[in-house]
Structure 1
Amino acid sequence: MTKEQEAPEILGEVDYQNPLVGLEHVNVIPRDVFILSTPPSSAKDLHADDLSWEELANIIATNQLQLLKRRPHDLRNYLRWKHWVEQTRPRAGVLEFLVVERLHWVDELRSSDTVLEVKPPVSPVFMANAAEDLKILSNDFPYALVPGIVHVVVWTKTKIPVAENGDIAEDARTLIQKYVDATFTGLFTNAAEAKDRVLWFKNWAALQSIPALAHFHVLLRNPDMARLKQLYNTGGIQI
């Protein structure tokens, strides 16, 4: 890998007066500019605005997913990384990085290939008990969450069915809930505890950083990390 292909260095705190320093060649949307230019509410605590479990539960219950955001310095590093990936992987940018290096859903990729071909799903039916069509990964760039909250993403080769209004279809929502219960309840003492410590949501299309590949997010409050790590890179518990 050449010097030009190396991942960008991780930068520290953002200069809120000059928030685009380090992003000179990156296309930054107005929403991100606002986050980058907004200092934390407490100068003594850079994590003062991290989202609590109760706030997360309310955001998901009221479908105000636009309120989920990264800390300014995390967002800057994410934008720099995303730009680097898009420049160094001309076939499909972040999608290529994800399916090749994180999901391993591509059989072989040669420098002469111009098209990215993802392994087809075992079953075209969403949540059809095919573990190979799902994979659980930790979120490399999580939202600003208070300590103890873990953010994972469940990726799926099959599309998540949606209703006419763009929200998840009720049948699909029921299947996802069953899958989440089956897969993540074991990370807690009992089912009652898990009920209060597991949340999940699917971003609206406008908020998805990788819309080409279906996925949903799972938030876990103080899970058994040893057991959770055993779930990483697996399809979870089939329903």
Structure 2
Amino acid sequence: MVVPLGSGPPTREELLVYYPAKFTWIELKTFVNSGDLGMLKRDRKLQKRYDLWVVGIKERYGSIVNYLMNFRLQWGRPDTLSLLGSAIQDKGMSTPPVMERVDSADLNVPRELPPLPADAPPYFSESTPPEYISIIQNDWPYSVPPAVEHTLIWTRIPIFHPALVADSVRARVEQDGLWGFTGNTSPPPSPSNLPACLPALAEWGVTLDKMIKSERGTPEEDELVVAAGRPVHNFVKQRWVEGDWETAWFVNPPRLQSVPGLAHVHVFARHK
């Protein structure tokens, strides 16, 4: 079978043929647990394709944020736009939220999220109602193994919240972000294994001395960071049932967020 090389978001067949995975599942988890989420990369050739796509998207929509707000994000609805698909079929809401319809001539008009009602939850968690969430496949996934899905959970509800992030670890969370692992009884790969995984990042020029991460915290501080991410962790466990799935999830710190102002979680999920 000949797979044509197209433009725009890739198909799964294109990923397999033209952008084969650079990272194993163990390497991927090691990078997530390294303390520097900037180590997670997209295939360099796919990145160039993405950069060209972004030019056209900005011409049509005005910005990536407008594209997301006026087209891609399906608040409270299943993701029907992905070319990659998922083994999990979200049912969404029986009555999706009423969103202002965008005329095709106004796709480049900035649109803000509807204001949150007074009874909206203060921060994202496993009990956040579906109308505040858009779960989609990453149309431009990182260089993950073929058996790993790269999913994005976009949310209108804040993820970083003063009620969750203690003052003593605020600077650490703002620099490093949050991450966790589900579906495995053994601990995740230790950051001490990182040197053995660095050859997979050679083409990006990543070395230990270029890492951006906080100094090692005390056990009490580490627990506070874990607590800050527990609502996200619980959501991931709820959606990717641990008997069937193993995941590595993370929330980029502000310095790495591609779309500042729109909260989202990355989930790497592997079906057992």
Q: Does 1:134 align with 2:133?
A: yes
RMSD value, Cα: 2.6
> 1:108 — aligned with what?
101
Identical amino acids, percent of aligned pairs: 24
Query: 1:177 aligned to 233, 238, 251, which one?
Result: 233
Where do 5+ consecutive residues of structure 1 fail to align?
Answer: 1-8, 12-44, 186-190, 224-239
Where do 5+ consecutive residues of structure 2 fail to align?
Answer: 1-5, 9-16, 76-98, 179-224
Separation (CA, whole Å) in 2 of partners of 1:130 and 1:49: 35
| 1:161-200 paired onto structure 2 within 5 Å | 161=160, 163=165, 164-165=170-171, 166=174, 167-168=177-178, 170-185=226-241, 191-192=242-243, 194=245, 197-200=246-249
Letter in 1 for 2:54: K
Q: Secondary structure at the residue paired with 1:63?
A: coil
Q: Does 1:97 align with 2:67?
A: yes
Separation (CA, whole Å) in 2 of partners of 1:222 and 1:203: 24
Contact 1:71 1:143 in 2 (8 A): yes
List per-residue Cα deviations over 1:114-161 (Å, max 9, x = no partner). 541222345151135322111210000001112211100000001211
- The CA deviation at 1:66 is 1.5
Separation (CA, whole Å) in 1 of partners of 2:252 and 2:21: 21
Contact 2:158 2:263 in 1 (8 A): yes
Separation (CA, whole Å) in 2 of partners of 1:129 and 1:161: 14
- The CA deviation at 1:192 is 4.7
Separation (CA, whole Å) in 1 of partners of 2:113 and 2:128: 19
Q: Which has the higher contact order (CA 8 A, sep 6+)?
A: 2
How many residue pairs are counted as aligned between the two chains? Answer: 173
> 1:10 — aligned with what?
7
Q: Secondary structure at the residue paired with 1:177?
A: helix
> 2:33 — aligned with what?
61
Q: Secondary structure at the residue paired with 1:85?
A: helix
Superposition TM-score, scaled by structure 2 size: 0.56
